Amino acid sequence: MNIHVIGIGLIGGSMVLDIKSLHPDATIYGIDTNESHLAEAIALGVIDKAATFEDLADADFVIVSVPVDVALMVLPKVLDAIGENTIVFEVGSTKTPICEAVANHPKRRNYIATHPIAGTEFSGPSAAIKGLFQGKTNIICEVEKTTFKLQEKALELFKSLGMRIRYMDPKSHDKHIAYVSHLSHISAFMLGKTVINKEKDEQDIFDMAGSGFESTVRLAKSSPAMWTPIFKQNKKQVVKTLEEYISNLSHFKALLEKDDYEAIYNEMRSVNRIKEILNGMKK
Ligand code: NAP
């Protein structure tokens, strides 16, 4: 098998690490504009060789794992370069603009639009880890637009990585993901900002920060280069979630100002239900 990964960072790198474990005979090729990432990926054994777009004609699978603004430009070029039986999938955190960018491409049927709901706050090839996708959900959009034979091969690969499959249209994906992923990142970034602005002496932050703060603010370590284009592409949905979130924050503040501790208790009590929801997701 010839597997090409374009963008050898956390997601693309982790995916090919697992593929290589499952298929030791596969050759993993990497394409990345960041030369030091290419060298690092070879040194770490994430990829076997660097490649170019000309090599894509012989690829069995092409994984496009670049920031979502880059995906809009790269994906049509990849489809131009591949062979008749190559399967291309990309893993971007937004789906509507990317699906629209290739809607009329002559090789649209070789492409499968995915979003693996897995990740960490780290980037680059050194962030790639084995087993990242085990037990996680892979959202697939517009599956009917991919040739059935290629769909089957891609699904087999996703399942071998331990992923559950969920089908969704791109607009529903972008609407739902704004709540559970995009808003969570903004909330962590702005929590981090609020604390940093107040505590100019960083030592105080580290002295007083417990594991609760650390786990809540974890996502604020994420890459701005990856997240800015996500917010841009999903602006309408993200603004809507922010309005709802800000309204909830304002309501909480108003209850506190009114000394309405019974209402505050009840607010938190009703949100405790998140425990059961999260436990249910793990089953
Ligand atoms: P990452 O670790 O930053 O890796 C992306 C790689 O692509 C970097 O090496 C980057 O180099 C490279 N790159 C940038 N422009 C390129 C171009 N024009 N051609 C080739 N390579 C290029 O990012 P990631 O976290 O793996 O994210 C990749 C994709 O997965 C994104 O679309 C993201 O939305 C999606 N995703 C991320 C997560 C997550 O939790 N991180 C989860 C699910 C899906 P530079 O660093 O020099 O730019």
pLDDT averaged over every residue in the chain: 95
Decide: pTM greater than 0.85: yes
CA of 65 to the centre of ligand 1 (A): 5
Alpha helices in 46-201 (DSSP H): 68-81, 96-101, 148-160, 170-177, 183-198
At 196, the pLDDT band (50, 70, 90 cuts) reads: confident
At 130, the pLDDT band (50, 70, 90 cuts) reads: very high
CA of 166 to the centre of ligand 1 (A): 23
Separation between Cα atoms, residue 67 and residue 71, nearest integer Å: 6
Contact by Cβ (8 Å): 135, 281: no
pLDDT for 278: 87
Q: Which domains occur in the chain, in start order?
A: 2-168 (3.40.50.720), 173-282 (1.10.3660.10)
Q: What is the mean pLDDT of residues 11-40?
A: 97
Contact by Cβ (8 Å): 25, 17: no
> Is the CB of 114 inside a 6 Å radius of any atom of ligand 1?
no
CA of 174 to the centre of ligand 1 (A): 18
Token look-up 């909480």 returns 252
Q: What is the mean pLDDT of residues 173-179?
A: 97
Q: What is the mean pLDDT of residues 47-67?
A: 97
pLDDT for 210: 81
Work out which ligand 1 atom sits closest to the CA atom of 37: 9
Separation between Cα atoms, residue 216 and residue 192, nearest integer Å: 9
CA of 265 to the centre of ligand 1 (A): 42
> Is the CB of 86 inside a 6 Å radius of any atom of ligand 1?
no
- Indicate whether 15 pLDDT > 80: yes
Q: What is the mean pLDDT of residues 238-250?
A: 98
For residue 159, which amino acid is it?
K
Over residues 88-124, the pLDDT tens digits come to 999 999 999 999 999 999 999 999 999 999 999 999 9
- Indicate whether 237 pLDDT > 90: yes
> Is the CB of 123 inside a 6 Å radius of any atom of ligand 1?
yes
CA dihedral 136, 142, 146, 149 (to 10 degrees): 50
- Indicate whether 205 pLDDT > 90: no
pLDDT for 268: 98
Express as a percent the part of the chain with pLDDT over 90: 90
Q: Report the range of poorest mean pLDDT among 80-94, 203-217, 249-263.
A: 203-217
Q: What is the mean pLDDT of residues 114-143?
A: 97
Q: Which protein residue's CA is at the shortest distance from atom 14 of ligand 1?
A: 66
Longest dimension (CA), the chain: 68
Give the count of beta carbons closer than 10 Å to the beta carbon of residue 218: 14
At 206, the pLDDT band (50, 70, 90 cuts) reads: confident
> Is the CB of 226 inside a 6 Å radius of any atom of ligand 1?
yes
